[in-house]
Each structure stands twice: as structure tokens, then as C-alpha cells.
Amino acid sequence: MNEDDLILLEQYLRGELPPAEVQKLETRLNKEPDLQADLTLLRKQNQYLAYRAGGGLSIEDLETMAKDARTDRPEEIKSRKASSGRILRIFIPAAVAATFLLFMWWQPWDSADLTPEELYAVHMTQPVWDVTTRNSDSTDPELTNSDKVVLSIRPNLLQQAAQAYETEDYQTVASLLERYSQTDAPNSEVLLIYAVSLIEIGDFSTAMQSLETLAESGSLLASEAPFYQCLALIKQGKIEEAKTLIRQTPKGDTKLERLREDLN
């Protein structure tokens, strides 16, 4: 489609063409199936843009929400992961039975008996991290060469960090994400994973800074920040500070409420 036709079709869709022009264009549309197809697509693009401009969700947003909703059910994630391996399917019932026996012997519902380390171990849930690499748009004429270099580094670093996260190599995750944030502002998911990794390796002050940034980000994951801030305090043995923080935190998801119960 040439630029003149694009302008013409846009004016037509906006109802800005004079009647004589409309008639001429409609005659062309009847004769030129390609032009008709371009009009169909342009109409769809306009509808999509109007929806997004109003603040409408994208499919990516929806996937994130689905993932978030699943993250609140760690037992379901565990069972799904278990289905991938036959050995794990046998191992899980045995582990559940053993955990139950241990649970009865240990009586963890009496939170006064839990040490900070135990409280941390019981409640720490590493968020699921799924790195989806976007097309780097390398043919986009608007990108400068330096943009292209940055875009090619970013997915690489994230993929390496995600692999390290999968193997619970939090030291590597933290250093890769630190490098990543030097080239670009990290999104809320990266901030959360970075903070969790820092908590795991004991760099609490940087973890708390990262979680504060996340809490102020206004993103969907912002509500996760207080939970991990509490866990960071618990891991440092600062139980009273954790209690104060959780008292100031509004009611949240299941894992936060379980932590609140145990702390109180």
C-alpha cells in the first residue's frame, strides 16, 4: 500500500472524505481486493489502538495475571512440576507422608517454637520467573546502532539470569541482573527476582532498596514487596521489625496472610 492510499483510507475511516471522494474510493474498493484487505486491516489496527489507548490490557498482561494467580497456589505449581517426571510422581506422596509425620512431631503451628531461620524456610516462596524474549526489532529503521547493541545484550543477560535462577544460583542471578539494570531500567518482575536473589545471598540492604522501588512502582507485582521485605527481616532475625511491617501492610494474598498468622 502506498502512502497516498494509506492517507486516503485513514480519512475514509475517520469520515473526513468529501462525498465525491468517498464514491471514488468505494468504486476502487470494489475493484481492488488488495485495497479492500488493507482497509480491513487498518480498521482492526484502529480498533486495537483505541482499546489500548484507553488503558486496555494486552495478552502479555493477561498471561502475567494468570501467572500471578497461580503463584499464590504453590502447591499447584509443585504438583504440576511433579507431573513432568515419573520419579517425582512417586517421590511426592512419600515426601508428603514424611512431611506430615515431621509436621506432627515438630508441631510448627506453635509459632513461638519457630526460630527465625525456620520461619524463613517455611514461608520463603521463590516467585516463578518466565523470561520471554521479544523480537529485538533489529530491522526497525528508527533504531540506532547503539539501540540494537543494547537490545541484543538485554535478552541474553535475562536468559542467563533465568537459567541461573532455575538452578537456584542466586549469586549469579544477582550479579547478572545488576549488570542488566546498568543498561536499562529493570521492570517490576526483574526487580522482584533481583530482590529475592539478594535475600537468598544475604545482601539485605540492597534487597530492601529494590523492594522499596518495587513497592512504589505501581505495578501488579508491587503488592509482593511487603511479603519479601518481611522475609528479609525475618532472615536477619529482626522479628519485631517484621511484625511491625506486617501490621502496617494491608490484607494481601494467601502467602502474606499465612506469614501474618505465624508472626502474630
Q: How far apart are CA 162 and CA 252, in angstroms?
A: 27
Exposure class string for 54-72: b at 16+ Cβ within 10 A, else e: eeeeeeeeeebeeebeebe
Write out the binding residues for other proteins, residues 205-234 only, by CB under 8 A.
Answer: 220
| Cβ–Cβ < 8 Å for 172, 180 | no
**Which one among 55, 75, 86, 110 touches other proteins, defined by CB under 8 A?**
55
In angstroms, what is the minimal distance from the CB of 65 to other proteins? 5
The C-alpha R_g of the chain, in whole angstroms, comes to: 26
CB of 50 to other proteins, least distance (A): 6
52, 81, 89, 247: which one contacts other proteins (CB under 8 A)? 52
C-alpha distances (whole Å) from 234 to each of 69, 110, 162, 229 are 25, 17, 26, 9
Site string for other proteins, 85-124 (x = CB under 8 A): ----------------------------------------
- Give the separation between CA 122 and CA 206, rounded to whole angstroms: 23
Q: Pick one of 16, 32, 45, 99: the residue that binds other proteins (CB under 8 A).
A: 45
Q: What is the contact surface with other proteins in residues (CB under 8 A)?
A: 1, 3, 6-7, 12, 15, 26, 29-30, 37-38, 40-63, 65-66, 68-70, 72, 80, 83, 134-135, 137, 140-143, 220
